[in-house]
A and B are shown apart, each in its own frame.
Chain A
Amino acid sequence: MRWTCLAGLAATLTLALAGCNKSGSSSSSANSNEIVIGHVASLTGDTATFGVSADEGIRLALEQINSKGGVLGKQVKVITEDDRSLSDEAKTAANKLITRDHVCALLGEIASSRSIAIAPVAEDAKIPMLSPGSTNPKVTQGYQYVFRNCFTDNFQGAAIADFAMKQLGFKKFAILYPANSDYGVGLRDVFKKTVEKNGGQIVDEEAYTEKSDVDFRGQLTKIKNANPQAIFDSGYYTEAGLIAQQARELGITCPMLGGDGWDSYQTIKIGGKAIEGCYFSNHYSPDENRPEVKDFVAAYEKKYNGKVPDAMAVLGYDAMKIMADAIQRAGSTDGTKIRDALAATKNFPGVSGSTTIDANHNARKPIVMVKIEDGRFKYAGSVNPE
């Protein structure tokens, strides 16, 4: 009896292991008449809007690319793997895309901590990786095959500080940052340095735990006592609305500033009236006057039933287009050649601005400052890279 049980178990295990072979992604059909690109995204989990938006932008671009004949005469296919907003899963997903699906390039991830986790995987496999939205400088540092098509926090933090001090005229700031997020901590550091360099003052600095704290009154009471002219929150949209509400409730009237992590319709929905008059830096604003933006917004709304695209969708769209352009310029699906073509990207007309990849594999792009007014995101100025 026990041997039959054991035999049955062994058979099931072998079948399971074999079943880890997705039907249809066997190595034969992969590269003959299609170009396969992988996308690691957080479709579920805490930061799911980022992953879903990026994926939607990528799919829109894919549609447009394929309808124009594809790349190098072949149709392009994008396989998206969900990493549930976890770094370990992101590594497994990247591994799977590279080794099982034989992708020639990788798009992803949005969150800096996950991009940092999958960068070595792409680097070891010599597969070029293009992150649409990770802004922490460590993502591309020291890697040959990792790129990003957005600005870094070094630029972003400085831009926010400059905008606040020069355009809005503030000198005293309080900082509320998520201590368990690389993005939040990095952005805070740059903001602080820039403010102090320009003669401003940080009157108070408080931390919170991202994705788990909902009550910020303790920190906000301390901030209120320090009397700042503006509060800088370097976290994600998941907390921005709540912080604004609680701040207004406690009687804090000064405006809040944020980074591109605020970019989501949830910020306005949750923040409501409390978040009116606050500013944040973003990769684009839907009401910008450029023709690329208008075309993109129209196409996106048409494909996704009237949904207004957020910055991650734009970045995903741009990333896909840049990757397709690079593969076209490289003339082959060889990783090294695509890498060289990516590194040579100059003045690519992206929806999020004209993109040039610099020597550090980062994009030199302008930052858009967005003001939240009347329940909508309104364009409030751009900061160009020097």
Chain B
Amino acid sequence: MQEFLQQLINGLSVGSIYALIAVGYTMVYGVLQLINFAHGDVFMVGAIIAFFVGTRALPITFPLWLHVAILLGIALGLTIPLLLGYSRRDVLRSVRPFVILYLAMIALEAIISLFSRSRHVSVSSWLMAALAMVMAVAACGAVGYVIERLAYRPLRSKPRINSLITAIGISLLLEFGGQNSAVFGPTPQAFPNQMVPGINEHWRVLGVIISKGDVLVLAITLALMVILSYIVLKTKTGLALRAVSLRFDTAALMGINIDRIISFTFVLGSALAAVAGVLYSEKYPSVQPLMGLLPGIKAFVAAVFGGIGNITGAVVGGMILGLVEVLVVGYLPGGSQYRDGVAFVILIVILLVKPSGLFGKHAVEKV
């Protein structure tokens, strides 16, 4: 019995990661109807950026919490008003002085570090972890924006297969680019998962081991789910998002800037991928350029299983997928060899039986 409970917990822990990645997938697909093959690789980019931040000693003189606070402040100050519907120009104008101040601060630190040996930050602190997360999210958001701008936007009016092939191309580009020794190299490196103190400890409940890291991932996934649902359902931008996902020519007629909304979706999706990447690397501290391939596909299966376009569905789908996988490994003889096949079998079954997924609505085919 205890073994079964432990396997259940294992399954939920694996599933929560799939859920996190699936949320990003489902968002992009819901708006664009594009399987973003590159999502798994953006996830990998996030993990690698966090790896670089976490393993390089940063030469800063001002306390770390100041940096993180300012960065977070700028980030929130940019996103929240934009979401609430204030015009881009006003928001940028009001944030500008802070950005300039921050850049001046960094420049000052750079100059100081040239002259004196500056204090190097210790690795084990919440702040470091937060900094790594923030940088990863920012970098992935930028990567997502660039990808959308350069590769997906020109193909929006062409048949969908071209976008699919381009997505595959970008995925390959990111993977092979990462494998190049100038960038990261093909060797798996150890991710500094001691950044957050205590994350590797666990609780013992009824003889079952629950790791604190897993609880953190679950908490973040649920929090993100709630935040995203709020954004999509209650804010003006979310309204625009839903309009674009229904019919984008009509949405354009209503005065919605399609390009901006799609870019926003992509940036958001990529940011979610980055969060997933950092948390995944905390759990499985081995980072390498091909790490996003399989989780990306499994997250897609989870998203489809739960109903693509539906955020709750993605989370539930991810959990169930993780559970089934671990139960197959734990209870089927030789099940560990069929582990990867489980995701695909679930995919095929759900596509045959209920293609709209668990939470999706059944689509009516009109002539």
- Contact stretch, chosen from A31-39, A212-220, A286-294, A323-331: A212-220
* B186 lies within 8 A of A212 (CB): no
Give the residues in chain B near A251, CB-CB below 8 Å.
209
How far apart sit A241 and B325, CA to CA, in the bound complex (Å)? 22
Min distance, Cβ B8 to any Cβ of chain A, angstroms:
10
What separation, in Å, do the CA atoms of A45 and B178 have in the docked complex? 11
| B189 surroundings in chain A (CB, below 8 A) | 266, 269
In the complex, A211→B330 CA distance in Å? Answer: 20
Question: Do A217 and B13 touch (CB < 8 A)?
Answer: yes
A209 contacts partner chain B, Cβ-Cβ < 8 Å: yes
**Interface check B202, CB cutoff 8 A:** yes
User: Once the chains bind, are B329 and A218 in contact (CB under 8 Å)?
Assistant: yes
Query: Which residues of the other chain, B, contact A217 by a CB distance below 8 angstroms?
Result: 10, 13-14, 326
Nearest chain B CB to A91's CB is how many angstroms away?
A: 20
Chain A residues with Cβ under 8 A from B61's Cβ? Answer: none
A209 and B336 form a contact (CB under 8 A) = yes
Chain A 228-277 residues near chain B, CB threshold 8 A: 238, 241-242, 245, 249-251, 266, 269-270, 272
Bound complex: CA of A242 vs CA of B294, how far in Å?
17
- The interface residues of chain A lying within 8 Å CB-to-CB of B187 are 48-49, 52, 266
Question: Which listed residue, B6, B326, B337, touches A207 by the CB 8 Å rule?
Answer: B337
Do residues B209 and A249 form an inter-chain contact, with CB atoms below 8 A?
yes
- Determine the residue in chain B with the shortest Cβ distance to A267: B190
Task: Say yes or no: B3 contacts A221, CB within 8 Å.
Answer: yes
Taking CB atoms and an 8 Å cut-off, the chain B residues in 1-48 that contact chain A are 3, 6-7, 10-11, 13-14
Q: Which residues of A contact B288 (CB under 8 A)?
A: 238
Residues of A within 8 A of B286 (CB): 214, 238, 241-242, 266, 270
Q: Is the CB of A179 within 8 A of B209?
A: no
Contacts of B335 in A (CB 8 A): 218
Residues of A within 8 A of B197 (CB): none
Interfacial residues of chain B within 270-319, with CB under 8 A of chain A in the complex: 284-286, 288, 290-291, 294
A163 at the binding interface (Cβ < 8 Å): no
Asked if B340 CB lies within 8 Å of chain A CBs, one says yes
A249 to B284, CA, bound (A): 12
State the CA gap A270–B3 with chains docked (Å): 27
A47 shortest CB reach to chain B, Å: 9
Asked, given contacts A221-B10, A249-B209, whether A213 binds B339 with beta carbons under 8 Å apart, the answer is yes
Interface contact A241-B330, CB-CB below 8 Å:
no
CA of A142 to CA of B243 in the docked complex: distance in angstroms? 68
Say whether B200 faces chain A, with CB atoms less than 8 Å apart.
yes
A48 touches B185 (CB 8 A): yes
Residue B166 interfacial (CB < 8 Å): no
Q: Mark B162-194, 1 if CB is under 8 A from A, else 0.
A: 000000000000000001100001111110000
Instruction: Let me know if A225 and B190 touch, CB within 8 A.
Output: no
Known: A207-B337, A219-B336, A270-B188. A250 touches B179 (CB 8 A): no
Q: How far is the CA of A238 from the CA of B186 in the complex (A)?
A: 11
Interchain nearest-CB distance for A325 vs B (Å): 31
Q: Please indicate the chain A residues that have their CB under 8 angstroms from the CB of B154 in the complex.
A: none
Which residues of chain A come closer than 8 Å to B6, judged between CB atoms?
221, 250
Give the chain A neighbours of B11 by CB distance below 8 A: 218
In the complex, chain A residues 164-222 whose Cβ is within 8 Å of any chain B Cβ: 179-180, 206-209, 211-215, 217-219, 221-222
One digit per residue, 1 when the CB lies within 8 angstroms of any chain A CB and 0 when it does not, for chain B 191-220 equals 000000000101000000101000000000
A residues in contact with B180, CB < 8 Å: 44
A380 to B10 alpha-carbon distance, docked (Å): 35
Does B63 make an interface contact (CB < 8 A)?
no
Q: Which positions 242-294 of chain B face chain A at CB distance < 8 Å?
A: 284-286, 288, 290-291, 294
Residue B159, interface by CB 8 Å: no
Q: Are B337 and A209 in contact (CB under 8 A)?
A: yes
Q: How far is the CB of B299 from chain A (nearest CB, A)?
A: 14
- The answer for the CA separation of A265 and B291 in the assembled complex, in Å, is 19
- List the B side residues contacting A44 at CB < 8 Å: 179-180, 186
Nearest to A219 among chain B residues (CB) is: B336
Q: Are B285 and A221 in contact, CB atoms less than 8 angstroms apart?
A: no
Bound CA span A45–B293, Å? 14
Instruction: Find chain B residues with CB under 8 A from A219 CB.
Output: 329-330, 336
Query: Are the C-beta atoms of B337 and A179 separated by less than 8 Å?
Result: yes
Contact (Cβ within 8 A) B337 A214: no
- Provide the residues of chain A in CB contact with B336, threshold 8 Å: 179, 206-209, 213, 218-219
Residues of chain B at the chain A interface (Cβ within 8 Å): 3, 6-7, 10-11, 13-14, 179-180, 185-190, 200, 202, 209, 211, 284-286, 288, 290-291, 294, 325-327, 329-330, 334-337, 339-340
- Ordered by A's residue number, 25 sampled pairs between the chains whose C-beta atoms are within 8 Å are A48-B179, A49-B187, A85-B186, A179-B336, A180-B337, A207-B336, A213-B336, A213-B339, A215-B10, A215-B284, A217-B14, A217-B326, A218-B10, A218-B330, A219-B330, A221-B3, A222-B3, A222-B330, A242-B284, A250-B6, A251-B209, A266-B286, A269-B189, A270-B190, A272-B190
Q: Which 5 residue pairs of A and B lie closest in terms of their CB atoms, listed nearest first?
A: A218-B329, A269-B190, A48-B186, A217-B10, A214-B284
8 extra A-B contacts, CB within 8 A, seeds A213-B336, A214-B284: A45-B186, A206-B336, A214-B286, A218-B335, A238-B188, A242-B285, A245-B285, A250-B209
